[in-house]
A and B are shown apart, each in its own frame.
Chain A
């Protein structure tokens, strides 16, 4: 009897380890890569291993991390969102316009701007998703359209100019630094990542995101409506573009219609480096955070090493492709291991 119990306990614990192993394998590779890159720059680049430098990296990482967190949801369902950069621009001018309205008190204007920023972003995202699902269009095309529409709208709202003069408390919050190394905007970004991780890992909605990316038709034939979930994923991506716009305002203190150009590509790069599959179904938001870190650490490190500005994109571009190549090998390895076990 006790033998059986013992066996069951063993089995349970081995299943637990297996599970942990499986989960961590997804992020372990990129995390190791990040650590190696950081160690490399610590050893070679002057000033890299200073708290000031890490503070700078954390400041620079925040916007991309927030955008990439939302992007992860869309990519996990097998879609793509090219509009986040210009949606961010639109949200910054909407937020800045409200905050610079002299009729409102600082507190009211900040609250209103917060709601408007997130609302505008979410609305853009929801429109993206709805159009994709309603007419069964590829998200690449729809969000490419939204990229232009939002960019145009940003110009209209801002009258083609940057908007500055944000309320003092808002600017002060943006400059806040916790424990001497964590800027407030980085904490916000971490918060977004944590919430995203929680949603993907612990909610029914998160389960659906992965299931749809794995096999949308099977989800439909299991009696569910994948459309609503996919629209929600795009809405989340828009929402994080709105949050990223707030972060942008906190960091740079101006709303600008030409903010965010090319941000979508950085966000996609972070997601991909983080191990999320472009065809959906596989990946994690923690990986995305690590991916965003790798991009910024490379950029800062190369700069400190005295690399020319022209060299940076060459290295980063190579790293993106390399990451995906490595990912295919890791997947093969995992598959081989699983198949071996399945055959036992």
Chain B
């Protein structure tokens, strides 16, 4: 399909027709339904805001619009014509421009080259640099970015890069500009500038779709709001008359299948892990918290709120600026993962494929990598011991595999996650940290993982679980720490668990401290 077909203006379309219309759009990934039966419209020239919790399906929706993914069900109409871009380039030709949260600039090229990359002005196959820089300067002036078009992008700040992305969107006269959390890294002044530009664009008739975690600012950029929850469309309505509490109300309400689990009866002993005055960088806020023996403590918060950063720093995977860590009441010095492991602290990372597993190696080799001393004698491997240990863990955790010699690459997500847990159980730690332990795995395996966590707690281990799945945390935790914008915004004990309350904490710091 050619872009021309997509962009052909439909004169017969009445002016009141929506610019974008989704009808029963669905998207599935292995084991997860990301979007289900989503239908809504975006009016021409409106400032539309898209909201939802982590995992509500916002990113998937944006990727469908941007051509990075294709829907499994349903249909999308854009500008009066069916819209089914096979690639980001087609989406872009059709007039939809997505400014992603992670910037997609070519950092070693100049600003001008980035801006006009898709259509470099040329003469006889040679780039016409003068023309390119002239046009780039115009675009930069339009977004009010005061840098030379010849500056290398890598030398710009994040905010400036963001503006370059937006200028890039301008130069192609997009009909729909999608902004995914553009203000996440901006200061107040830069945010104001951004809004100014958005207002100017809206005045020119550009429709915007705006995604943000900062609920205060959506009133400045939008008049319509769409809320997604758990992959489903909740509502699309005018923003006026809708308060922040109302919006939070619309976002919460996701439920989890009842596994009949409650961690409340697991007794909590003395402190297993204590953290005081932890600072990631010199100017970041201090945080202190503790986990008791037999206690499962959840860390909730939006993606990017500092959850992963904190647990990685705790584990010594990334450097920290300050902070004291106690394990079993004893102060320990953790400068690297090997220190952490030596003191009985372990971390099952968020990304199991790239950080947790030796994908090409066998199940046995993966389970024993944390403690090779246990399966060796004077540096020589004892394979029998290794295989027996691995087979025992595979049985205990009910990993489905024909053989412990199977490469873990071939395992399903749930079984891979079990191997990650198995390798830490093999080490026998005192405190276990899990970062998104159930991401991308099916319901059955999830339940098994919850059961495992509870069993570990019953055995007296301290457990810290980071998760974007709030109902999951509420089901398995004794206590939940809510992170917001790099600090602990609140702590909620089990008796007071309430999605509403937790989510309010999660959004809390974004409005208040915009200037960092």
A residues near B (Cβ < 8 Å) are 15, 18-19, 22, 202-208, 210-211, 214-215, 217-225, 281-282, 335, 338-339, 341-344
Contacts and interface: CB of A to CB of B under 8 A. Distances in A.
A223 B365 CA distance: 15
Contact of B403 (A15, A211, A220, A343): A15
A223 B338 contact: yes
B381 A225 contact: no
B75 interface: no
A185 B401 CA distance: 47
Contacts of A342: 401-402, 406, 410-411
Contacts of B356: 218, 221
B358 A211 contact: yes
Contacts of A208: 372
Contacts, number: 99
Contact of A214 (B341, B355, B361): B361
A221 B336 CA distance: 9
B376 interface: yes
A221 B350 CA distance: 12
Contacts of A344: 402
15 contacts: A22-B405, A203-B381, A206-B381, A211-B361, A214-B360, A218-B356, A220-B317, A221-B356, A222-B369, A223-B338, A281-B358, A338-B410, A341-B410, A342-B406, A343-B410
A214 B359 contact: yes
B313 interface: no
Chain B residues touching A, majority SS = mixed
A123 B401 CA distance: 45
Contacts of A281: 358, 360-361
Interface in B339-375: 340-342, 346-347, 349, 354-361, 365, 369-370, 372-373
A70 B263 CA distance: 54
Interface string B323-343: 000000000000011101110
A282 B376 CA distance: 22
B15 interface: no
A221 B381 CA distance: 21
A223 B427 contact: yes
B513 interface: no
Contacts of B340: 223
Contacts of A211: 358, 361, 365, 369
Given A207-B381, A214-B358, A282-B360, A339 B410 contact: yes
A203 B379 contact: yes
A219 B365 CA distance: 12
Contact of B370 (A204, A207, A223, A343): A223
A72 B405 CA distance: 23
A215 B357 contact: yes
Given A214-B360, A215-B359, A202 B380 contact: yes
Nearest to B346: A223
Contacts of B403: 15, 18
Interface centre among A211, A218, A282, A335 (most CB of B within 10 A): A218
Given A204-B381, A207-B372, A217-B354, A223 B337 contact: yes
Interface in B398-439: 401-407, 409-411, 423, 427
A341 B358 contact: no
Contacts of A202: 380-381
A202 B380 CA distance: 6
Given A218-B369, A221-B315, A335-B409, 11 more contacts: A15-B404, A203-B380, A204-B380, A204-B381, A207-B369, A215-B357, A221-B337, A221-B347, A223-B341, A342-B402, A342-B410
Contacts of A205: 379
Contacts of A214: 358-361
Given A203-B381, A204-B372, A342-B411, A18 B357 contact: no
Contacts of B342: 223
A341 B407 CA distance: 11
B165 to A, nearest CB: 29
A341 B404 CA distance: 12
B95 to A, nearest CB: 41
Contacts of A335: 409
Given A205-B379, A214-B360, A281-B360, A225 B369 contact: no
B438 to A, nearest CB: 19
Contacts of A207: 365, 369, 372, 381
A222 B380 contact: no
A216 to B, nearest CB: 10
Contacts of B357: 215, 218
Nearest to B357: A218
A204 B336 contact: no
A341 B359 contact: no
Interface string B282-317: 000000000000000000000000000000000101
Contacts of B349: 221
Contacts of A210: 361, 365
Contacts of B381: 202-204, 206-207
A338 B361 contact: no
8 tightest A-B CB contacts, nearest first: A223-B341, A342-B410, A214-B358, A204-B372, A223-B338, A204-B376, A222-B370, A222-B369
Given A223-B337, A223-B338, A15 B317 contact: no
Contacts of B370: 222-223
A343 B410 CA distance: 8
A217 B359 CA distance: 12
Interface in B94-128: none
A113 B317 CA distance: 45
A18 B407 CA distance: 12
